[in-house]
Amino acid sequence: MELPRLMGVVNVTPDSFSDGGRWFAPDAAVAHGRELQAQGADILDIGGESTRPGATRPLVEEELGRVVPVITELAGSGATVSVDTMRAEVAEAAIAAGAAIVNDVSGGLADPRMYDVVAAAGCTYVAMHWRAHADHMRDFAVYDGPGGVVAAVRDELAARVDAMLAAGVRPDRIVLDPGLGFAKRPEHNWQLLHDLGPVRSLGFPLLVGASRKSFLGTLLASGGSPRPVGDREHANTALTVLLAQQGVWGLRVHDVLSAKDALRVLERLDLLDREGEEGRHD
């Protein structure tokens, strides 16, 4: 079994839903990235724009000032770095600073130059299913067509793939993300997790980011109140195992240590399965 890559989240923002700006200072962000790497993160995902529901966008200069120094430091010390951005200008600067992956939650819809930048760089490009910016994406959480949310995500990502290929993005550099929580209600997220097959049928690796999202808080609600953000990791660990068994390419997580531990358990059991299979053929 090929285990998924763990993409550790480093939010260089003052208003992230998951950490409330704890890593906003560049030194704190770099230290956090190194901690996640030590815990087993394969990729460090550096983002300078909060995409929580209702968030407003920073100026491009602000986003550049947040992420470029952190990427420069972490990539310079040998980490595999991803930049979490919807802006071609930020992606271009991040690649120049050492980023190997562009993780675009808009799938190229927010900036028409993004595909050109990625194609020219030849870097890995994660394209997420997206319909609108955070301040009004809830207005687009409607999936009434045949096949519901699963068919819509598959078809809309297929259209993005066609546009990427037409722009010269290499097919072996494309990773797709179903976009849990983005213009989706809790029931939509669960439907996608239950049936990733149609999205996988597009033929590209999948990155899934469920960590700490509100649909988990809703599931774990007590007394009518969602489970607090920091107390949702046990549920995400369960998803880590299930998604790894489904063969996803990567998992975007906040708590790298718990995800890594879960994957180590799965890896050990898989080893026993393979040893048993070899024994039956001796």
CA distances from 48 to 20, 68, 203, 205 (A): 13, 9, 30, 25
Q: How far is 252 from 43, CA to CA, in rounded Å?
A: 9
Task: Using alpha carbons only, give the angle 264, 76, 99 rounded to the nearest 5 degrees.
Answer: 75
Q: Is 260 a catalytic residue?
A: no
Q: Is 266 helix (H, G, I), strand (E, B) or coil?
A: helix
* 3-state SS class at 9: strand
Which pair of tokens denotes residue 11?
A: 């939010």
Tokens representing residue 153 in the block: 């995500």
CA dist., res. 269 & res. 199, Å (int): 28
Q: How far apart are CA 60 and CA 72, in angstroms?
A: 18
Catalytic member of 213, 227, 232, 260? 213
Residues 141, 172: Cα–Cα separation, whole Å: 30
- Dihedral sign for Cα atoms in the order 183, 185, 188, 193: positive
DSSP 206: B
- Among residues 131, 232, 252, 260, the one annotated as catalytic is 252
Structure tokens at 241: 């195992």
H or E element in which residue 205 lies: none
Alpha carbon 161 to its chain centroid, in Å, reads 17
Burial of 207 from C-beta contacts in 10 A (0-12 / 13-18 / 19+): buried
213 is catalytic: yes
Amino acid identity at 187: E
Catalytic residues: 213, 252
